[in-house]
Amino acid sequence: MHRADQPPSRRAFLDVTGATVAAGLLSGCSGDSARPARPAPSAPASSAPAAPAPVPVTGRHQAGVTLPRSPQPHLLALVADLGAGVAPGPLLAELGETVRTLTAGSDPRLLGLPPGDLTVTVGVGPRLVRAVGAALPGAADLPPFSRERIAPRARGGDLLIQICAGEAPLVPVVAAALLDRAGDRIRERWRQFGRRGTEVPVAEGRSAPRNVLGFIDGIVGPHTPAEQERDLWLAGPPGVAGGTLAVLRRMELDLTRFAALSVAEQEAVFGRRRASGAPLSGGGVADAPGLGAKTADGRYLIPADAHVRRANPTVVGVGHMLRRSYSIDDPVPGLLFISFQNDLRTFTATLTRMDTSDALLPFTTTTAGATFLILPGYGPRRPLGSPLFG
């Protein structure tokens, strides 16, 4: 990743290092024993893994939030500013068309790589939203919080391009194509690659990854359509309906100090079992934490400063956020946290409460942060961004 105070040129992604793929060959013996002297034919080569299903680009919502159901393992978050005098509407419409050609596999800038389950999700920052209406969702900046060490260029931004894919080499290639289409109309602020950890089943048809601290991440959230309509998607006004609000936070983690804790101490920080993800109050990984459960001598089974207690939406008095966490190791080991919600207060009130006493926060330092309005879905007759900037 480039340093925040030295933004790369928009051509930086064109110098892409190829990935080496190792393939194995299976051979076997014929089951025909009638003619043993005959050379045994090779067994058929094992079939290649099925290609990931394409993710629909058009619709009420942009892809890359709830679709695909299990997020792809590789992500690039790219944050940029629009140049002076650049109109958002035409730029967004062109980016949307480019996304359609990239996901369809018809763009020569893919360099022959199959798009697979590629998704590109585009959001706009508060400055652009305020230019349309100061009261619109997405018009408010993300306030500062404690334990931040954020350079000016790593705070805020006009444009978010989130690229997710099942194949790592595809991500920088797609970024280069989109930056090429945008040309000199945008200037990059910062970017971050991330990867999801091993997926662990948490409920029927749903899984969550382990984060870089070894714990299952993203168990609680608006997972059903009804929950998503309530807590995730914006219902209005018309220019933003079908969109959502994203918060990005890049965090350094003190892995050495956390690893020095015993497993029991680590579990007390999170309020969950490290191996299973089950709350310390008992039950399974998908069960709600029993915040009132106590030991025989009156101690809370989930400590008062445990992360699952301090960030619990019922206790905070906010809706659920859909959380995505990606492990990073550049510039240092850490986490790229992304949350989606239809009210920025869902995030800000939660982090404000965590700031007062959350056992996890002392192991973190935030080095980049921003919020964006994820634009509503689009289609052939409804260009990306047109309901708001048309």
Q: Is 77 helix (H, G, I), strand (E, B) or coil?
A: strand
On whether the CB atoms of residues 138 and 342 are closer than 8 A, the answer is: no
Backbone angles phi, psi at 382, to 5 degrees: -140, 85
- The neighbouring-strand residues paired with 76 are 163, 193
Interval 187-219: pLDDT, tens: 999 999 999 988 999 998 899 999 999 999 999
Burial 56-95 (b: 16+ CB within 10 A, else e): ebbeebbbbbbbbeebbbbbbbbbbbbeeebebeebbbbb
d(Cα 264, Cα 4) in Å, to the nearest integer?
37
Mean pLDDT of the chain: 90
Across the range 146-158, mean pLDDT stands at 97
What is the model's pLDDT at position 359? 98
d(Cα 133, Cα 371) in Å, to the nearest integer?
16
- Confidence grade of residue 65 (pLDDT, cut at 50, 70, 90): very high
Q: Tell me: pLDDT of 22 over 90.
A: no
- Residues in CB range of 260: below 8 A, 6 or more apart: none
- How is residue 313 written in tokens? 């939406």
What is the model's pLDDT at position 331? 85
Nearest 5°: CA angle at 72, between 68 and 75? 125
Q: Where are the domains of the chain?
A: 54-383
Interval 38-61: pLDDT, tens: 444 454 455 566 788 999 999 999
Amino acid 334 reads: G
Q: Is 95 helix (H, G, I), strand (E, B) or coil?
A: helix
- How is residue 144 written in tokens? 């500062």
CATH of 54-383, one of 1.10.8.50, 3.90.550.10, 3.30.70.3420, 3.40.50.970: 3.30.70.3420
Across the range 126-146, mean pLDDT stands at 97
Reported residue count of the chain is 390
On whether the CB atoms of residues 127 and 144 are closer than 8 A, the answer is: no
Q: Where are the alpha helices (DSSP H) in the chain?
A: 88-104, 126-132, 170-182, 225-231, 255-259, 263-270, 307-310, 313-316, 344-356, 386-389
DSSP state of 389: H
Interval 89-100: pLDDT, tens: 999 999 999 999
Q: Percentage of the chain surpassing pLDDT 70?
A: 87
What are the C-alpha distances in Å from 231 to residues 224, 275, 347? 10, 29, 12
What is the model's pLDDT at position 166? 97
Q: Tell me: pLDDT of 23 over 60.
A: no
What burial class does residue 224 get, using C-beta atoms within 10 Å of its C-beta: 0-12 exposed, 13-18 middle, 19+ buried?
Answer: exposed
